[in-house]
Amino acid sequence: MGEVNISGYCDPKFKEVEKVFRDSIISNFELGASFSVELENQTIIDLWGGFCDVDKTRKWERDTIVNVFQYRKQLPLFVWVD
């Protein structure tokens, strides 16, 4: 294996987000990842790709289980500071 594959959906308005996601995996900044955004109960971004292991033998799938971090409560602080 070794070839990076990005899967999922990205609303055309947010193609730059998809590009950043893809670039972060291709550049090895991330080994594998998933990223999902909902806006007003609509999924606008749902991407996944890369690998689950350092040897790059297991692809990151839509249902790959990982630790989840939620930034909902911290987001207003980041916006306020910015």
What confidence tier does 81 reach under pLDDT thresholds 50, 70, 90? very low
- Listed by start position, the domains of the chain span 6-81
What confidence tier does 72 reach under pLDDT thresholds 50, 70, 90? low
- List pLDDT tens digits, range 18-64: 999 999 999 989 999 999 999 999 999 999 999 999 998 999 999 89
> What is the b/e burial string over 51-73, where b = at least 16 CB atoms within 10 angstroms of the residue's CB?
bbeeeeeebbeeeeeeeeeeeee
| 55 dihedral zone (left: phi>0; alpha: psi -120 to 50; beta) | alpha
Please give the single-letter amino acid code of residue 37. Answer: V
Higher pLDDT, 29 or 72: 29
